[in-house]
Every structure is written in C-alpha cells, then in structure tokens.
C-alpha cells in the first residue's frame, strides 16, 4: 500500500448522523508487526493455522485471526480465491465465538433481541439475523443456530454480544443461561465442499438444506455441521464440541480427507464475500449503522407480532425511508471501480467524490478485484442523493492502483450482489417473492 500518509481528516464529508465519525485519515499500511502476547487469546486451531503457513493475522473478538496463508510471491490472496471458487478450502474461523442461550425461556429471549421472528425457526435450523439497540443501530449480525427447542447458538461477528445479552437479561429475568461455550467453528467452502463433508460424516449431509444442521462425529469427536458460510459458494461450517481437546483431530482429519479434492487452507474469503454482497461487521457496518442504511432493511420484518429491541426506531426509519427523508446521510452501495487490480486488504477507508475537482463525499469500506467481472468492485457509503444505480462518481485510490498517478478512477454505483451466490441470500429470496422484508 502507499506509504504516503495524508493525515488530514476529511471534514468535508457529512457524518452528522454519527456520534463518533468514521476515521477517514489516509495513513496507509506502515508495515508495523503485530505483537503476539498472552493478553489476546489463541484459538484451539491457532497453532494449526501457523503450521499451515499463516503469515498475516488480525485481532477479532479478542483472539488472533488468520488472514493470509499464500505468500504474495506465490500468488497471494488471489491464489486463495482460485482454490475457493474451483475446489475446496478450509478456514479457521474459531474467532466467531458461539454464544449459547439455553433454558425454558430461550425462544422468548432470542425473539426479543432479534429483529427476525425466531419462533419461525424450527430446531436444527439456523438464520442470519441482526440484533439492534433501542436506537435501531446494529450491534451484531450473527448466524443464529437453533440447536434444540430450548437452545440457541449465536456465531457472532466482532463485538461483545454476550455482555449485551447478560445486561438485557439482568432486568428482564428470562429463565436462561447465557455463556460462551467451548465450541470452535471451521468453515469448509467451495464447489467440492459437499463431497468432502460427505466423506467426513456420511451421505446424509447431502440432504441438509441451506441453513440446516446435522449432528455428527469426526473420528469420535462430536461436531455440529451447518450448511452456512461467508463466501457465496457452496459451503459448510463444522462446529467442534470440546474444541480445546479435539482441535487436532478435527483439523487433521479434514486435511487428510480433503487431499483428494485439492483442499487448501485459506483465510476467510473477503474477496468472494464482497462479490456476494455479504457484509463484514466493523468494516461495512457498526453499532451506529441502521439496517436500512446498509442493505439490511429486509431484516426488519413487517409480519412479526411480538415486540423486540429497536422495533419502534426501526419502524420510524422504515416510514422515513419510504417518504424519501431517511434519518441518515449516507447509504451503502455497490461500486464498480477503474484502476489496477486490488488484490489485498485495504488499510484505509478510501475516499469517494462526485468528480476529480470536488471534495470527497463518501468512503469505500470493502474493495477487491473480481476476475469474473474483470474490474475492481467495492462496497461504499455515498450520500443518499448519490445512491441510485448508475450514478457516476470517482474514487481516490493509492497510487499503486491508479492508471494515472494522482488522478482518481471512475466509480459507478451498481446492484449488489456483484455475482450470484450458490444459495441466494434472504434479501434475494424476499425480493424474488415480491417482498421487501424477510420473516
């Protein structure tokens, strides 16, 4: 990334709807080495990721999170991408800590903290859900698994959801226990994932529907299999019970079985999830983002009868959006960008403007290069008035991605997802059914 740092904060960009503005200083990647210490947790799979070649990591849910395996000189992240879209891949996502809500009132509690109607989710099924505060801002967007009638797991994105749950229940006194549990997920993603998982746990997994669950064992270790993932490709998650004890057994068995399918250990596929329009918490949304602002308005149901946290604020937002007066300044959109291929993580929120002569008005959250589309793609926040598909903007990228140094590239607002997913998202399914909301 560019080492030239422009640390002037972009005051020209209206962030008046936020208490804490997004930091838009362009400081680049200084090449600082991450400190590995015992104040940040190592997951049960951490040492196995290191053995598999992990050379870049970040911190997520106070745990070290592998983010790169293939070295740049060997093809880097795009070599990992090719393995994902052509074969099958294994991801260490143990940082997505399952928070268990269990007890006689589990359904009622979960239905109160989720916008979607949890009572419609039968045991051994899951849903993608959002959880909001009283202002209607998104606190987390986990995958929720209903393991039993009285037991739910929330595979969380990067935030303190367990503390939120415990705080809510301190006053409400639902009859539930709320705990992080010793269950660590792995993801097996790619077009050959079904064959590999069937080799691991039996042919019955082929009957598991999208967001369905299956109890199984791998070399005597108990696991829960879900047909879910963060890629847009066909994929599964493997939740290992007592993962601190069974990490090596699960990991090594998957590697051994996957050899004939060309299995490669890779980082979570942000290049593919961007193409699929899948959001990354902390990057594309945070605790000051409204669902209607970030392409998640469909997660606010119209048919849910019971109350839930944030309902009044979200219904008011829906009404204001329908009137053309949304209570936020910027809207998340898809962009197709010019310039040279972006094939690694962006260290900054790169800036967007109406044209090369004007002040910036928005920022890119998640950029990458799409080989299938032959262009750079990105998610970005732009002023609501500039969010219509087809709007032409410009983007200021680091010099290494510019065709002409110092000149911004064209950026055109487009529909998301950029590429169809193997399993359509809840938003896509609702849209196909003529609804602007999910149940």
Q: Nearest Cα to 124, choosing from 218, 226, 203?
A: 226
Distance CA 240, CA 165 (A): 23
> What DSSP string runs through 289-318?
--GGGTT-GGGS-SS--S--TTHHHHHHHH
Angle between helices 106-113 and 161-172 (to 10 degrees): 110
Q: Which secondary-structure segment (H or E) carries 184?
A: strand 183-189
Answer whether 306's CB lies under 8 Å from 387's CB.
no
Distances (CA, A) of 65 to 16, 76, 337: 33, 17, 29
Answer whether 277's CB lies under 8 Å from 87's CB.
no
343 is in an annotated binding site: no
Coil, strand, or helix at residue 200?
helix
Reading across the β-sheet that carries 143-148, which strands appear in turn? Answer: 125-128, 143-148, 151-155, 98-102, 177-180
Query: Which residue is associated with the tokens 């972009």?
Result: 10
Q: In sequence order, which residues have a C-beta less than 8 Å from that of residue 396 and are 6 or more positions away? A: 26, 350, 351, 352, 353, 360, 408
Q: Nearest Cα to 119, choosing from 305, 317, 395?
A: 305
Distance CA 355, CA 340 (A): 19
Answer whether 397's CB lies under 8 Å from 409's CB.
yes
Residue-level length of the chain:
439
262: Cα separation from own chain's centroid: 25
Q: Which secondary-structure segment (H or E) carries 144?
A: strand 143-148
Beta bridge partners of 145: 126, 153
Q: State both tokens at 423.
A: 């399993």
409-414 and 330-337 beta bridge pairing: antiparallel
- Cα 424-189-73 angle, rounded to 5 deg: 120
- Known binding positions: 237
- Known binding positions for substrate: 237
């Amino acid at each position: 990334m560019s080492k030239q740092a422009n640390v002037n904060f972009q005051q020209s960009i209206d962030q008046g709807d936020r208490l804490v503005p997004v930091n838009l200083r362009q400081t680049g990647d200084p090449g600082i080495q991450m400190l590995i210490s015992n104040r940040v947790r190592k997951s049960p799979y951490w040492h196995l990721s290191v053995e598999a070649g992990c050379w870049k990591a970040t911190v997520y849910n106070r745990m070290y999170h592998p983010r790169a395996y293939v070295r740049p000189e060997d093809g880097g992240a795009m070599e990992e991408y090719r393995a994902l879209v052509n074969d099958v891949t294994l991801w260490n996502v143990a940082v997505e800590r399952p928070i268990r809500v269990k007890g006689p009132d589990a359904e009622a509690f979960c239905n109160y903290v989720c916008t979607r109607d949890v009572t419609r989710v039968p045991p051994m099924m899951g849903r993608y859900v959002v959880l909001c505060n009283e202002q209607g801002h998104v606190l987390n967007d986990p995958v929720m698994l209903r393991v039993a009638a009285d037991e739910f797991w929330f595979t969380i994105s990067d935030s303190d959801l367990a503390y939120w749950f415990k705080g809510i229940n301190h006053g409400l006194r639902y009859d539930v226990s709320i705990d992080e549990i010793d269950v660590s997920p792995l993801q097996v993603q790619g077009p050959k994932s079904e064959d590999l998982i069937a080799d691991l746990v039996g042919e019955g997994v082929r009957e598991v529907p999208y967001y369905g669950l299956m109890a199984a064992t791998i070399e005597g270790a108990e696991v829960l299999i879900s047909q879910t993932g963060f890629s847009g490709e066909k994929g599964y998650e493997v939740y290992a019970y007592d993962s601190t004890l069974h990490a090596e057994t699960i990991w090594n068995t998957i590697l051994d079985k996957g050899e004939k399918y060309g299995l490669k250990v890779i980082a979570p596929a942000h290049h593919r999830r961007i193409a699929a329009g899948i959001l990354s918490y902390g990057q594309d949304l945070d605790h000051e983002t409204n669902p209607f602002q970030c392409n998640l308005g469909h997660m606010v149901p119209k048919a849910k009868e019971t109350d839930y946290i944030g309902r009044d604020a979200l219904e008011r937002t829906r009404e204001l959006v329908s009137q053309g007066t949304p209570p936020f300044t910027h809207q998340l959109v898809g962009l197709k960008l010019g310039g040279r291929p972006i094939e690694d993580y962006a260290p900054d929120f790169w800036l967007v403007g109406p044209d090369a002569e004007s002040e910036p008005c928005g920022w890119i959250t998640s950029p990458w290069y799409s080989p299938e589309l032959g262009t750079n793609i990105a998610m970005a926040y732009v002023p609501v008035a500039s969010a219509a598909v087809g709007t032409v903007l410009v983007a200021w990228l680091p010099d290494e991605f510019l065709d002409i140094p110092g000149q911004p590239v064209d950026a055109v607002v487009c529909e998301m997802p950029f590429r169809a997913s193997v399993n359509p998202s809840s938003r896509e399914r609702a849209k196909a059914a003529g609804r602007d909301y999910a149940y």
